[in-house]
Amino acid sequence: MNKERPHMENQSIQYQLNDSGVATITLNRPDIHNAFDDTIIAALTAAFKMAGEDPAVRIVVLAASGKSFCAGGDLNWMRRMAGYNYEENLRDANALADMLRTLNYLPKPTIARVQGAAYGGGVGLVACCDIAVASPDAAFCLSEVKVGLIPATIGPYVVRAIGQRASRRYFTTAELISAETARELGLVSELVNNEELDNTIAGIIKGLLRNGPQAVAEAKRLVLDVADGEINAEMIADTSQRIAQTRGSDEGREGLTAFLEKRKPGWIQ
């Protein structure tokens, strides 16, 4: 049974939490290809924070209604931005940056369900998720330079997803990136037919739910903390401390005991 969260007042964002602990956050502006503005950015930030802070949530799926995932910035919002001064633009940019940071560092595994167009900020949303499952009709574009802008706030996440070399190309050319190329670049994890999207994501969710919730959160944090660091004495000491802490945790003891006793750990329903 899905548990609706009625206090998510903005109907452009839907939030559902099922009994397995899967929170699905859905962009719901199909008539404008799920483009976002400052109001949607605020609603997404609130939804991500809600999911991150709710102990009942174990996995977050970011989805979109209609034929497109997210076309980036809403045209009306962009028209307003054209008249902003520096302080107003900075405030807007900081809000977008906060939303992306919240999603990227969410202490739960995140899965993007991508169909159709993912342009500009939509690419950023995909890059901030841990796993992205896309259909062959998905198309990606870092289109900002076409209108004299740059993909600044999404840049750190996209560069980490596809690497510096590819970023130097696609940030400057604004070429369309096919779903197949996105998979080759590492932006997309799985590429499946439209009718297989939900089953593929369900399979990933099933696997994630078999794992210790706290261990999953700590494993994600480990990647984020060590990815770009030097493997030095400090990092080695830190990783040793992390495994010692997890071995001594209630979840770690339960997991190891269950394995030795050949039974399911307590977190598996």
Q: Are residues 201 and 238 in the same domain?
A: no
Direct distance between the N- and C-terminal alpha carbons of the chain, in angstroms, rounded to an integer: 15
Tell me, yes or no, whether 198 lies in a domain.
Answer: yes
Q: Are residues 163 and 230 in the same domain?
A: no
Full residue range of the structural domain in which residue 166 is found = 3-209
pLDDT greater than 70 at residue 32: yes
Predicted confidence at residue 171, as pLDDT, reads 97
Q: Are residues 34 and 123 in the same domain?
A: yes
Tell me, yes or no, whether 182 lies in a domain.
Answer: yes
Q: Are residues 235 and 204 in the same domain?
A: no
Total number of domains in the chain: 2
**To the nearest 10°, the Cα dihedral for 235, 58, 15, 2?**
170
Q: Are residues 50 and 168 in the same domain?
A: yes
Predicted confidence at residue 178, as pLDDT, reads 97
Average pLDDT over residues 25-44: 94
pLDDT in tens, 54-106: 999 999 999 999 999 999 888 888 888 888 899 988 999 999 999 999 999 99
pLDDT greater than 70 at residue 4: no
Q: Are residues 246 and 161 in the same domain?
A: no
CATH number at residue 149: 3.90.226.10
pLDDT in tens, 95-117: 999 999 999 999 999 999 999 99
- Tell me the C-alpha to C-alpha distance, in Å, between residue 139 and each of 30, 64, 151, 169, 185: 16, 14, 17, 16, 13
Q: Are residues 149 and 119 in the same domain?
A: yes
Q: Are the CB atoms for 252 and 219 separated by under 8 Å?
A: no
Round to whole Å and give the CA distance between 257 and 249.
12
Residue 31 CB coordination number (10 Å): 9
Helix spans in the chain (H): 38-53, 75-81, 86-104, 121-128, 155-162, 164-173, 179-185, 197-209, 213-226, 233-248, 250-260
Q: Are residues 185 and 256 in the same domain?
A: no
Tell me, yes or no, whether 192 lies in a domain.
Answer: yes
Q: Are residues 58 and 167 in the same domain?
A: yes
- Tell me the C-alpha to C-alpha distance, in Å, between residue 81 and each of 93, 118, 124, 126: 11, 21, 19, 24
Tell me, yes or no, whether 195 lies in a domain.
Answer: yes
The whole-chain average pLDDT of the chain stands at: 93
Instruction: Please report, rounded to a whole number, the percentage of residues in the chain having pLDDT higher than 90.
Output: 87
Handedness of CA 139, 154, 26, 182 (dihedral sign): positive
